[in-house]
Structures are given as C-alpha cells and as structure tokens.
Structure 1
Amino acid sequence: MAGMSKAQIGGILARQGILIAFALFIIGFTLANEKFLSADNVLSVVRSSAILGVMALGVTFVVISGNLDLSVGSMMSFSTIVVLDLHDKVGPAIAIPLMFAMTIALGALIGFLVGYLKLNSLIVTLGMLSAIHGLTLTYSGGKNMDIVDKQGTWFSVFGQGTALGIPVPIIMFLLVAAFLGLVLARTPFGRKVYAVGGNGTAATFSGIPRARTVFYCYVISAACVATAGLIQASRSMGSQNTVGQGLELEVLAAVILGGASLLGGSGTIFKTLIGVLILGFIQNGLLLVGLQFYVQFVVTWVIIILAVWLDIAAKRGKFWSTIA
C-alpha cells in the first residue's frame, strides 16, 4: 500500500474491512481453541448455519430490490409449526407442499402490499412480523408442536439425513444458493431486480415492471423461509411456536455482511453465503472461547452497525462525513 493515497486505502478498507476483521477473528479464535478449524467443527458450523443461510438467500433478492423483510423470523415459526401439525394429520407428502403454499401466500401478500400498493416495506414487514406471530399462536392454540411417530417417518431426512457423508441441510443450502445465484446473475429477472433497486423510477420509465419484480422478490423470500422451516422441523421433529423469533435481525446482518446495500441495487448470492458463514463462525468462536450464548446478541448488533457503517463509507469513499 506504499504508493496508495489515504483515500484509496480508506476505500479499500471500507469495501473489504469486514473480511479483514473476519480474518482477524479466525486467527484469534484458532489461537484460543485449536478445535476451531477442525473438520468436524467447520462442518457443524455450516450445518447449523443452513437454516439462517437459506432465509438470507431469499432476503438478498428483497434487499437488492431496495426493500426490507422483517417478517421472515415469524414466517419461519409459522412454516415450522404448520408442517409439523399437518405431518400427523395428512402425512409428510401432503404436509410439505401445503406448508409451502401457505407460506408463499404470506409472502405474496407482503409483495402485493409493497410492490403494487407501494407501501413502505419497513412498516409492512414490521406489521406482518406481529401479525404472522399472532397467526402462528392462533393456529397452534399457543402450544408447541411435536411429531408423534418420530421413528416411522422419512420426514427426518431433511434435517438429520446425510448424502455421501455430507449433511442434507448443507446440500439443500448449497443447491438453493446455486439456483438463486444463477437466477440473480444470469437471467432477465435478476437484471430487473438490480435495476429496480438501483433506480426504481428509471427502471419504470425503461419499461421494467417494478411492482411485479418486487412482488416476486417477496415470493422468493417466502419460498426460502418455507425451505428453512422444513429443515428446522425435520431436524428437531418438534418445535416451539416462537422458534424463528429474532432471526430476522441475524438474516439481515448476514445479507449486509455479504455486501448487499440497504440502499438497494447491489449484492450477490455468493457474497451473502460468505456473510452467513462469517456470522456463523464468529458465533461459534465466541462459544468455543467460553462466552455465553447471549453474548451473540450483542455481537450481532455490533456487526450490523459495523456493516452498515462500512456500506455507507464505501458509497462516499471515506469513513466519516466532514459535514457536521
């Protein structure tokens, strides 16, 4: 960096600062506990991050389109409870598509309110967070759900199964990431998402159906939440009706860590995947060095603030504004 100006160095740190911080975390955690980078621990972290990761992949579309989705935590609780309840009533082969249909319908409702009625996404999804939570409690009667015959069903394969030695949740996570990555980077719809998020007005005048694009972003997000709910239900074969509570902030943190801008128009599926792993390894490292699990909430908050600050700094080319 000898021949670089302070502004150039500041720009690089603003864009890559979180990766540098992650590298320092990795070095520190490895020195503190030699098990941190063991194969078993790495596989365990990726597996435990799969649920959060699948949700973050869908939210990436929403954020790139210039919107937010704070309802994903409550929606995941809803999908988990629904598929567990329907499993014993109609069997997994019917319960799974029914759950997907119901969850996607909720996403379509949000997409209609934000896309076609042009309501503020923060207000709509914040309201839906409470509404879906209430819907979940009403559906379950305030009770937790458990599968009665845990041994006589193939349903556990999604959360507990393995293929070629790799846990099925990791395979599902990577397959969803690969598919959505292609959709976002290689299809006309993906280009429309970037255009709408970058400049919605210009996109509209260019003939891009802005409302429809936003609508489908929320549908994709809901489909990813349903997939995460399926993995969660299959892994535990039972669930509390608040299992997804608070996950919306972790999902948003992972997406922002991956470089997606809250202003819209930028971000990739691959970087979101990296953001999910950064969050997962940092939380795992905190546990391995002996810190209590609730410290993760403080760290997640700090990471969100840091990521937003770096995002804004990257846009203006310096870490802080000279205007008071």
Structure 2
Amino acid sequence: MSDVSQREGAKREGKMSSLSRQQIGTVLAKQGILIAFVIFIVAFTIANPKFLSPDNLLSVVRSSAIIGVMALGVTFVVISGNLDLSVGSMMSFSTIVVLDLHDKIGPLLAIPTMFAMTLCLGAVIGFLVGYLKLNSLIVTLGMLSAIHGLTLTYSGGKNMDIADKEGTWFGFFGQGDILGIPVPILLFIALAAGLGMTLSRTPFGRKVYAVGGNGTAATFSGIPRARTVFYCYLISAACVATAGLIQASRSLGSQNTVGQGLELEVLAAVILGGASLLGGSGTIFKTVIGVLILGFIQNGLLLMGLQFYAQFVVTWIIIILAVWLDIAAKRGKLWSSFA
C-alpha cells in the first residue's frame, strides 16, 4: 500500500514539475524581453551609476524620438501583415528635401511640401503592396534603393545645410522645448497618443487587425483590404516625414545618408514591442516600450565603454531573440521538438 502511495505521489510531483516548467516557459515566451530589459537595467546601473540619472534618461528618450516616431507608423504596416524596409532611405529624402527647400521657399512652405512629397512615396508603396498585391518585402527593399538614388539625385550627391542658422525658427522642432520638455519628445508622445487611439478605438484600427490576422476572411467580411494596406503605408510615410523634420531641425544640416540603416532599428523596436511579423497583433503602447528598451540598451552599452558599432551586433541579437520569443509565444513553449 505504501509503494502505491509513493508511486502516486511521484506521479503528482512529476505532473506539478511539468506544469511549472510549462508555466515558466509561457511567462518567458510572453514577457522574456521585459525580464531581459530589467536585467540589462540592473547591470548597466551597477556598471555606471549615471545610467539612471534624470539627465541621462531624458537624453535617451530625446535621442530615441526619431526612431520612435518612425516605429509608430511601421507598427500599422506590421500589424496589417506587411513590412516596410524603405523608412530609412525615405527619412534621408525628407530631411534633405526640407533643408533644401528651407532656403528656396522658406520653412513655412518647405514643411508641407516635404510632407506632400514623402506621402507620394508612401502612396506608391501602398499602391504596389495594397492594390497590386506585390510582396511587401520585395517592394520596400526595392524602394529602399530607389529612394536612396532619388535622394542622391535630388541633392546632387551633396550634403545640405541651412545658410542662416541663427535667423530661422526652424530649429524649434528639433532643439526647442516646452515647459522644460524637449519638443521631439512632445511630438513623439502626441503621435503615440493619437495613433494609439486610432488603432485601438476606431473602425479603421479594427480593420488593420482584421487584415493582418486573416486577409482572406477580412475580404469576405467586406473589409477593403487593399485600401486598408494603402492607408497603413500613408501613415508610415507621414511618420517618416515627421522624423525627417525633427532630424533636419535638430542639426539644421544633414548628410544625404542620414537615415541609412535606421530601418533595422525601427523594425527591431516594433518587434520588441510585441508586434508579430505574421500580422494581426501589436499595439502602439508596446511599440513605445520597444523603442525605449532599444534606446536604453544602446545607451547602457555606450556608458559601459563599448564602441558605437557594437550596437549593430547587439541589435541583431535582440531581433533574433524577439522573433524567437514571438514564435514561442504562439506555440506555447520556448523549444520545439527536433524532427
């Protein structure tokens, strides 16, 4: 009788152990990035006490605003089940255009003109992906090169600078502050609040989730799939134009490759925020968290003495980790069985 009781007890313990491992795996799959972020924060603070100083925190958020603004728009694209790898070169284009037009027609006309030109590029991508149903990876990868060439052609291969940097109000968007808060941070917060409401509280937001979750079912339900994707790329282009405005206003001059490679950081921030590459999931709030995670990790690495180019390796590792956790969250476990 005692042997039977021992065997039953052993079975119960085995089931409880298996259940606890499964629960731990589920928690790690869903919250692993946040747990890793906390570990990074603790490690960086121990390595350099200045990491959590108010000045450093404000500096990190301010420097992350450009990536953050672009990531807000890309969130719509990713939730709709597509990708946008053209945001880096598009940001270079918008920055160069607004700087060039500033001296030719004045900032009051240069800003809306730049926005209109950038939206036209987004409309081209939206038409190709949404209405012609071309693969978004191929289209935006091609547009990355095309827009880069367009930027070089427009600028004649030269960098752009504002002639009269002291006599213009244009620097307000990148250098100004309101009540002690830098304007780039306020723009980031305002866009995040507006787009967050659009995504979570409007019929259009529900259409974006439906198209990304199951495009065929959405079409049969009467949702205009092509138009929804088209508008997502327009939103992404508008966010890129805003980021270009901040970048141009910050330095009142720019290289014609200023946005090169930023598409990787933007995509990393969106994925870190929990948006699935398969579409149908993600939120603006979590994207903001992803932007901050990426910004604080990069800042912590610099304070620890690592060279800036080490950030590229870390960004790659973070992307791989985020994609792995995203897939793990969907299958309910961290590891898959080998065939």
Q: State how far apart, in whole Å, the 2-side matches of 1:10 and 1:248 are.
A: 31
Q: State how far apart, in whole Å, the 2-side matches of 1:107 and 1:186 are.
A: 24
CA-to-partner distance for each residue in 1:242-263, whole Å, 9 max, x for gaps?
0000000000000000000000
CA-to-partner distance for each residue in 1:150-180, whole Å, 9 max, x for gaps?
0000000000000000000000000000000
| Alignment match, 2:277 | 262
Q: State how far apart, in whole Å, the 2-side matches of 1:119 and 1:323 are.
A: 34
Amino acid corresponding to residue 119 of structure 1 in structure 2: L
Q: State how far apart, in whole Å, the 2-side matches of 1:4 and 1:101 are.
A: 56
1:108 pairs with 2:127: no
Q: State how far apart, in whole Å, the 2-side matches of 1:140 and 1:130 are.
A: 15
Amino acid corresponding to residue 152 of structure 1 in structure 2: G
CA positional deviation for 1:2: 8.5
Amino acid corresponding to residue 212 of structure 2 in structure 1: G
- Any unmatched runs of 5+ in structure 2? 1-15
After superposition, residues 168-247 of structure 1 pair within 5 angstroms as 168-247=183-262
Amino acid corresponding to residue 150 of structure 1 in structure 2: K
CA positional deviation for 1:320: 2.0
Q: State how far apart, in whole Å, the 2-side matches of 1:142 and 1:31 are.
A: 45
Match of 2:171 among 136, 156, 160: 156
1:274 pairs with 2:270: no
Amino acid corresponding to residue 159 of structure 2 in structure 1: N
| Alignment match, 1:23 | 38
CA positional deviation for 1:278: 0.1
Q: State how far apart, in whole Å, the 2-side matches of 1:196 and 1:123 are.
A: 20
Give secondary structure in 2 for the equivalent of 1:40. helix
| Alignment match, 2:4 | none
CA-to-partner distance for each residue in 1:38-91, whole Å, 9 max, x for gaps?
000000000000000000000000000000000000000000000000000000
| Alignment match, 2:13 | none
1:74 pairs with 2:82: no
Amino acid corresponding to residue 217 of structure 1 in structure 2: C
Match of 1:294 among 300, 309, 314: 309
Amino acid corresponding to residue 197 of structure 2 in structure 1: L
| Alignment match, 2:57 | 42
CA positional deviation for 1:4: 5.0
* RMSD of aligned alpha carbons: 1.1
Amino acid corresponding to residue 154 of structure 1 in structure 2: W
- Any unmatched runs of 5+ in structure 1? none
Match of 2:334 among 303, 310, 319: 319
Q: State how far apart, in whole Å, the 2-side matches of 1:188 and 1:323 are.
A: 43
Which structure has the bigger radius of gyration?
2
Give secondary structure in 2 for the equivalent of 1:151. coil
Q: State how far apart, in whole Å, the 2-side matches of 1:145 and 1:158 are.
A: 18
CA-to-partner distance for each residue in 1:84-137, whole Å, 9 max, x for gaps?
000000000000000000001100100000000000000000000000000000
Structure 1 segments, 4+ long, off by >3 Å, are 1-4
Percent identity of the aligned residues?
Answer: 85
Q: State how far apart, in whole Å, the 1-side matches of 2:321 and 2:103 are.
A: 45
Q: State how far apart, in whole Å, the 1-side matches of 2:181 and 2:115 are.
A: 25
After superposition, residues 87-106 of structure 1 pair within 5 angstroms as 87-106=102-121
Give secondary structure in 2 for the equivalent of 1:115. helix
CA positional deviation for 1:321: 1.5
Match of 1:32 among 47, 50, 62: 47
1:85 pairs with 2:100: yes
CA-to-partner distance for each residue in 1:288-310, whole Å, 9 max, x for gaps?
01110000000000000000000
Give secondary structure in 2 for the equivalent of 1:231. helix
CA positional deviation for 1:323: 3.8
Cα 1:202/1:288, change in 2 over 3 Å: same
What number of residue pairs does the alignment pair up? 324
Q: State how far apart, in whole Å, the 1-side matches of 2:207 and 2:27 are.
A: 28
Q: State how far apart, in whole Å, the 1-side matches of 2:91 and 2:335 are.
A: 37
1:145 pairs with 2:160: yes
Q: State how far apart, in whole Å, the 1-side matches of 2:19 and 2:291 are.
A: 32
Q: State how far apart, in whole Å, the 2-side matches of 1:90 and 1:282 are.
A: 41
CA positional deviation for 1:28: 0.2
Match of 1:53 among 68, 88, 111: 68
| Alignment match, 1:249 | 264
